[in-house]
Amino acid sequence: MAKKESTFKNMTIALFVITAVAGLALSAVYSVTKEPIAASQKAKINNAIKMVIPEFESILDTVLMPEDGKDSITVHRLLKGTENSGVAVQTYTDDGFSGRFTLMVGFLPDGSISNIEVLEHKETPGLGTKMALPAFKDQFKGVKLSDLPGEKILVKKDGGQVDAITAATISSRAFCDAVNRAHAINKKGEKQ
């Protein structure tokens, strides 16, 4: 087979063919994996809801915008029959040491925190990742933010009540920020 001459036209055609094949392969992989990924994400959210408010029969989803106008937050109103069994708020913060992380915060009908689950994060292994451990997140259980000054939960360094994770104060503050955002959006949703 003879070697083709290296001209601009031949290089352009070769690059186009390579790009087209790669694009088709990528779209085929995307179409095959799209539904399983979506199903996995939905199962992850449903499992987190069950962890923060274990007893409910049905879910009413509402998407609300926080007052800072950033991303939307999903509020899952949970019912047992016709009775309110709580609210699970899928919240986030962009203030983590390694950027955004998301939480599911459960509020009981009286407004106190039932439980918190970390959905995703990129925090430092062995430091910020400790926010997902019961030793840290269980200190939020039973807290009613409406009873706190300014209706905000803070780390002790900032005059609050939460023991920060050693060497991970930024992650601890960010966790509190996400919980405060969840409380604010839940309070906003109650008024609607």
For 9-12, the CB contacts below 8 A with 24+ separation are none
Residue 42's alpha-carbon distances to 9, 47, 132, in angstroms, are: 48, 9, 20
C-alpha 20/C-alpha 24 separation (Å) is 6
User: Does residue 153 lie in a domain region?
Assistant: yes
Question: Where do we find the tokens 């392969």?
Answer: 25
Predicted local confidence at residue 17, as pLDDT: 95
User: Does residue 102 lie in a domain region?
Assistant: yes
User: Does residue 93 lie in a domain region?
Assistant: yes
140 residue type, one letter: F
User: Does residue 70 lie in a domain region?
Assistant: yes
Residue 62 pLDDT greater than 80, yes or no: no
Predicted local confidence at residue 146, as pLDDT: 86
C-alpha 121/C-alpha 10 separation (Å) is 46
User: Does residue 20 lie in a domain region?
Assistant: no
Residue 127's alpha-carbon distances to 70, 132, 141, 149, 160, in angstroms, are: 27, 11, 21, 28, 21
Residue 88 pLDDT greater than 90, yes or no: yes
Residue 14 pLDDT greater than 80, yes or no: yes
Instruction: Grade residue 27 by pLDDT with cuts at 50, 70 and 90.
Output: very high
Predicted local confidence at residue 87, as pLDDT: 92
C-alpha 86/C-alpha 55 separation (Å) is 9
Instruction: Grade residue 63 by pLDDT with cuts at 50, 70 and 90.
Output: confident
Domain range for 106: 49-191
Length, in residues, of the chain: 192
User: Does residue 181 lie in a domain region?
Assistant: yes
pLDDT digits (tens, 9 = 90+) for 41-57: 888 888 888 999 888 88
User: Does residue 30 lie in a domain region?
Assistant: no
- How many domains are there within the chain? 1
Predicted local confidence at residue 68, as pLDDT: 59
Predicted local confidence at residue 150, as pLDDT: 86
pLDDT digits (tens, 9 = 90+) for 117-161: 999 888 888 888 888 899 999 999 999 998 888 889 999 999 988
pLDDT digits (tens, 9 = 90+) for 66-85: 555 567 788 888 888 888 88
Exposed, middle or buried, 92 (CB in 10 Å: 0-12/13-18/19+)? buried
Q: Can you name the residues that pair with 106 across neighbouring β-strands?
A: 88, 115
Residues near 180 by beta carbon (within 8 Å), at least 6 away in sequence: 145, 151, 152, 153
User: Does residue 100 lie in a domain region?
Assistant: yes
| Whole-model pTM over 0.85 | no
